[in-house]
Amino acid sequence: MKNKIYNIFLICSISLITYGQDFDTSIPNVVPPNPTAYQFLTYGNIPVVNSTGAFSYTIPIYTVNYNDITIPVTLNYSSNGVKVDQLSSIVGTDWNLNTGGIISRIMHGQPDEHGNRWYAETINLNDYDNKVKIRNIALGISFIDTEQDWFYFSVGDISGSFFFDENMNIKLNCEEYVKIDFTYSQFPVTSSFTITDNKGYKYRFGGNADYYENTTMTTDNGLLGDKVSNCITSWFLKEIESPANNKVTFTYDTKNNMNYLSNITETINCAQQLSNICPYPGNNYRVEPKTTPQQIMSKTPILTKISFGNSEIIFDYGNMSMIEKIYLNNITVKHNNETKRTVSFSYNLISCSGTLPDGVSSFLHSRNRLFLTKVSFKDAVGIEQEKYQFDYHKLNQVPARLSYAKDKYGFPGFKNNYSAFSKKVWDEEVSCLISERFSGIFKTIS
């Protein structure tokens, strides 16, 4: 009787993320908000604890006092170290302009407000519909959204998070009593949130394209082509209305486009060979390193004016090509169209070093970082009345963004790294290491 021999191919992947299929090493479809929005939410939602070593500092810029509405405009610093992959906000690295408010989300899978949702807490495999859904989702032929998006909000002195259930009911996590209402329309596509606090103040977000941040994320998916995801990632504060019907409105510039690499995923695939062609004696595994970049293009509203009664606060920006983004230049307070106060901002643009993954060096923001160095307060005639100046530790040692010069927590270190993987992994020949770890597993069936 003739024996049939089946070769068993063992495919292994050592990576920052574990993948379920060797032919598709794309990372999960997760779309984050832009750096400025994230920094705003970080300040509102992550308390600074002395034991963590984090340092925070607040500079009061101006306080809006309009009848029964009070809005502080502050500049906030919060940091326990600059992370290598971190992007600067419009006021520099680790600084945040805190005024108004925002609702941001991290999208998982598909936007919750689109299409079909299936957020099953338990799955009955005896149910035919469940089997069909699971099969279609696994094969990628279904548009069912199985992952809930995460929403975060910060406005005034309240902050928190929430998510939608399968029926688009809001499940809230907030220490204060607040009510959140959501409206959505498909023709045309519009969405808005209204947050009402325990004193009856209403905060309205979104409503049209002037108050949305749209983010498009493109992932290089190899032979499968680019994987593109698009959604609204932030809703910006449009209006505050008090119980006495007084209003403060916010105006934005919607022409700000930001194009940057959000992260780099590096994998090492070790595939067993039919013949011994590996350069190491006795090793028949092929090592295939792969770098997968994620590129984000974000169209983000930038606050240009706060209007209240006969007064307004005007925000003026500059554009710095070396970081491929805008930065805050001046804040001017006016009453009856007359300047009452001007706040100016000065920066230091530093050039960073470090080994970058392939394809990253073409992005200028990877080599350059912006640090706030001075805040100057001037009176109505332009005479400086007060100033704050800042210095930073070892700016000449800050590595380039997305470089390999970082530890496992993302902070600067190991400046001689040339890969996302430790030197030990490469020095011990990855393929041999994999071969040894699978000793005893069958190789053929005959």
pLDDT in tens, 319-357: 876 555 789 999 999 999 999 999 999 999 888 876 677
Q: What is the pLDDT of residue 100?
A: 86
**What are the pLDDT digits (tens) for 352-403?**
876 677 666 556 566 788 999 999 999 999 999 999 999 998 888 888 888 7
Q: What is the pLDDT of residue 284?
A: 56
Q: What is the pLDDT of residue 74?
A: 94
Query: What is the rounded CA–CA span in Å between residue 366 and residue 351?
Result: 9
Q: Is residue 244 part of a domain?
A: yes
Task: For residues 157-163, give the mean pLDDT.
Answer: 91
Using DSSP's 3-state secondary structure scheme, residue 255 falls into coil
Q: Is residue 359 part of a domain?
A: no
Token pair listed for 371:
């640090």
Token pair listed for 294:
């994620």
Lowest mean pLDDT among 55-69, 79-93, 163-177: 79-93
User: Is the pLDDT score of 238 beyond 50?
Assistant: yes
Token pair listed for 247:
């209003």
Lowest mean pLDDT among 116-120, 269-273, 401-405: 269-273
Q: What is the pLDDT of residue 122?
A: 75
Token pair listed for 240:
């505050």
Q: Are 159 and 122 in contact (CB under 8 A)?
A: no
Q: Is residue 117 part of a domain?
A: no
Task: For residues 36-55, give the mean pLDDT.
Answer: 52
Q: What percent of the chain has pLDDT over 70?
A: 67
Q: What is the pLDDT of residue 289?
A: 65
Q: Which of 403, 358, 401 is nearest to 88 (CA)?
A: 401
Query: What is the rounded CA–CA span in Å between residue 230 and residue 217?
Result: 6
Task: For residues 231-256, give the mean pLDDT.
Answer: 92
Lowest mean pLDDT among 7-21, 67-81, 170-184, 245-259: 7-21
Run of H or E residues at 318: strand 311-320
Higher per-residue confidence, 61 vs 120? 61
Q: What is the pLDDT of residue 425?
A: 57
Task: For residues 96-120, give the mean pLDDT.
Answer: 86
Higher per-residue confidence, 251 vs 20? 251
Candidate ranges 143-152, 191-200, 349-358; pick with highest mean pLDDT = 191-200
Q: What is the pLDDT of residue 404?
A: 78
Q: How many domains does the chain have?
A: 1
Higher per-residue confidence, 10 vs 440? 440
Q: Is residue 301 part of a domain?
A: yes
pLDDT band at 183 (very low <50, low <70, confident <90, very high): very high
Q: Is residue 13 part of a domain?
A: yes
| Burial of 73 per CB tally in 10 Å (0-12, 13-18, 19+) | buried
Q: Which of 289, 287, 318 is nearest to 302 (CA)?
A: 318
Q: What is the pLDDT of residue 228?
A: 61
Q: What is the mean pLDDT of the chain?
A: 76
User: Is the pLDDT score of 140 beyond 50?
Assistant: yes
Query: What is the rounded CA–CA span in Å between residue 22 and residue 14?
Result: 11
Distance set, CA 370 to CA 136, 169, 365 (Å)? 47, 41, 9
Q: Is residue 234 part of a domain?
A: yes
Using DSSP's 3-state secondary structure scheme, residue 161 falls into strand
Using DSSP's 3-state secondary structure scheme, residue 276 falls into coil
Residue bearing tokens 């006495």? 244
Q: What is the domain range of residue 12?
A: 6-112+148-305+396-445
Task: For residues 143-161, give the mean pLDDT.
Answer: 88
User: Is the pLDDT score of 208 beyond 60?
Assistant: yes
Q: What is the pLDDT of residue 400?
A: 81
Q: Which of 210, 216, 214, 199 is nearest to 237 (CA)?
A: 210
Distance set, CA 353 to CA 83, 323, 378, 404 (Å)? 14, 15, 37, 11
Token pair listed for 154:
């910060």
Q: Are 175 and 223 in contact (CB under 8 A)?
A: no
Q: What is the pLDDT of residue 163?
A: 93
Q: What is the pLDDT of residue 325?
A: 72
Task: For residues 36-46, give the mean pLDDT.
Answer: 49
Q: Is residue 45 part of a domain?
A: yes
Q: What is the pLDDT of residue 444?
A: 39
pLDDT band at 273 (very low <50, low <70, confident <90, very high): low
Lowest mean pLDDT among 154-163, 226-235, 329-338: 226-235
pLDDT band at 82 (very low <50, low <70, confident <90, very high): confident
Sign of the Cα pseudo-torsion (37, 40, 45, 51, in order): positive
Higher per-residue confidence, 235 vs 13? 235
Q: What is the pLDDT of residue 341?
A: 95
Q: What is the pLDDT of residue 311?
A: 95
pTM to 2 decimals? 0.75
Q: Is residue 311 part of a domain?
A: no
